[in-house]
């Protein structure tokens, strides 16, 4: 396995753990609309770290927090697929 494959696998494991962690804290997403709002919220949190909190000063490096937000964003994208695409609710 190459170094790049190893890095991807390690990152995927972090995202997977976040999917499971979030699953214990929050109910499944009920619709694609709800999923879009959740994903938008995570995207906005990442944007805030990049544009509002991050500055060129070394003591203001928010890359670790940006990474956390991107892992949460990826996890919510996976949950959206699992909750609303691969396991759609029955039409009422």
**pLDDT tens digit string along 27-45?**
999 999 999 999 999 999 9
**pLDDT tens digit string along 73-83?**
999 999 999 99
CB 19 within 8 Å of CB 42: no
Q: Within 10 Å of residue 69's Cβ, how many Cβ atoms?
A: 19
**pLDDT tens digit string along 11-30?**
999 999 999 999 999 999 99
User: d(Cα 56, Cα 76) in Å, to the nearest integer?
Assistant: 29
For residue 70, give the DSSP letter. Answer: H
What are the residue boundaries of the structural domains of the chain, listed by start? 3-85
User: d(Cα 1, Cα 17) in Å, to the nearest integer?
Assistant: 22
């Amino acid at each position: 396995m190459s170094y790049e494959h190893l890095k991807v696998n390690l990152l995927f494991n972090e995202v997977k753990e976040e999917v499971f962690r979030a699953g214990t804290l929050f109910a499944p997403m009920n619709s694609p609309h709800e999923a879009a709002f959740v994903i938008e919220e995570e995207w906005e949190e990442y944007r805030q770290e990049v544009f509002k909190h991050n500055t060129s000063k070394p003591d203001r490096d928010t890359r670790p927090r940006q990474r956390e937000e991107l892992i949460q964003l990826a996890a919510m994208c996976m949950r959206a697929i699992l909750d609303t695409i691969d396991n759609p609710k029955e039409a009422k």
